[in-house]
């Protein structure tokens, strides 16, 4: 998470070199790695609030807005496929810090989730994550946002960016901050991918597709899969794969 922390320190100092304003960062959220980096940066003193934006796979949104960490429905395939997560694996890191390192309570939270697919979060987690806001948007809203951004700004965004853009703009246009807090003076949307990776989705919303050479090069490459079976030495297999000695790459 160290590199993610650096991202938010850099973004903040570029926008507010005098360190005299608060910034909201809106993050497309799947596994929560990016959000953890922002959360830790905020804990180190960077004046940011965090908005973790998800699609219909809204485990993160319900966890922090309702206090219920649970899976209540099957995974929903969306255009923002990297956000289609029912198990945001980095959320445990936020729980750990919010619990001030109370591993026994954290263990109970995670065991309840793993065994029952539902865990009611302790009040300490919710209290210590008050600067972490969440939002959930559906794919109709996502596609509409991609189209609106193109029409209004002539700027193409990918579906993942659109998931973060919409609640960020709703925040920016609101008169007050969320949940009674003072409103941040600046809003940043974290854009996670080039829209050129999503030509079919861009065509669906009538946004021109600008070719990108390295993306086009990928289209001509052979797709490969590596299956790791239970009981095999995964470390050995992965090391061999990375070094190319298996011929997989």
Domain ranges of the chain: 2-194, 211-249
pLDDT of residue 154: 95
CATH of 2-194, one of 3.40.50.1440, 1.10.20.10, 2.30.110.10, 3.40.50.1100: 3.40.50.1100
Return all residues near 158 (Cβ < 8 A) that are at least 6 apart.
Answer: 80, 146, 191, 192, 193, 194, 195, 197, 198, 201
Q: In degrees to the nearest 10, what's the CA dihedral of 90, 85, 158, 161?
A: -50
- 3-class secondary structure, 224: coil
pLDDT of res. 179: 64
For residues 56 and 133, the answer to whether their CB atoms sit within 8 Å is no
**DSSP per-residue codes, 129-142:** TTTEEEEE--HHHH
Give me the average pLDDT of each 10-residue run along the chain (249 residues).
92 96 96 95 95 97 96 93 94 97 97 95 95 94 97 96 97 78 90 90 92 80 87 92 64
At which residue do the structure tokens 């193109």 appear?
Answer: 150
Report the predicted TM-score, pTM, of the whole model to 2 decimal places. 0.85
Q: Which two tokens stand for residue 15?
A: 């926008």
Of the candidates 7, 75, 9, which has an alpha carbon nearest to the alpha carbon of residue 45? Answer: 9
């Amino acid at each position: 998470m160290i590199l993610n922390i650096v991202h938010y320190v850099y973004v903040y100092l570029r926008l507010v070199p005098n360190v005299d304003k608060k910034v909201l960062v809106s993050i497309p959220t799947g596994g929560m790695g990016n959000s953890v980096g922002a959360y830790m940066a905020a804990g180190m003193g960077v004046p940011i609030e965090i908005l973790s934006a998800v699609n219909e796979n809204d485990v993160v949104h319900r966890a922090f807005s309702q206090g219920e960490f649970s899976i209540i429905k099957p995974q929903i395939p969306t255009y923002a496929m990297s956000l289609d997560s029912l198990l945001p694996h980095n959320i445990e890191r936020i729980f750990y810090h919010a619990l001030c390192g109370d591993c026994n309570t954290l263990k109970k939270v995670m065991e309840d989730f793993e065994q029952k697919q539902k865990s009611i979060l302790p009040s300490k987690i919710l209290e210590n994550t008050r600067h972490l806001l969440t939002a959930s948007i559906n794919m109709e809203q996502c596609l509409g946002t991609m189209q609106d951004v193109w029409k209004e700004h002539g700027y193409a965004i990918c579906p993942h960016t659109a998931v973060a853009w919409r609640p960020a703009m709703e925040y920016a246009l609101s008169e007050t901050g969320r949940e009674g807090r003072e409103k941040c003076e600046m809003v940043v949307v974290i854009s996670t991918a080039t829209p050129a990776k999503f030509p079919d989705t861009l065509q669906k919303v009538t946004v021109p597709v600008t070719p990108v050479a390295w993306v086009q090069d990928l289209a001509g490459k052979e797709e490969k899969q590596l299956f790791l079976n239970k009981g095999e030495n995964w470390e050995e297999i992965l090391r061999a794969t990375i070094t190319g000695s298996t011929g997989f790459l």
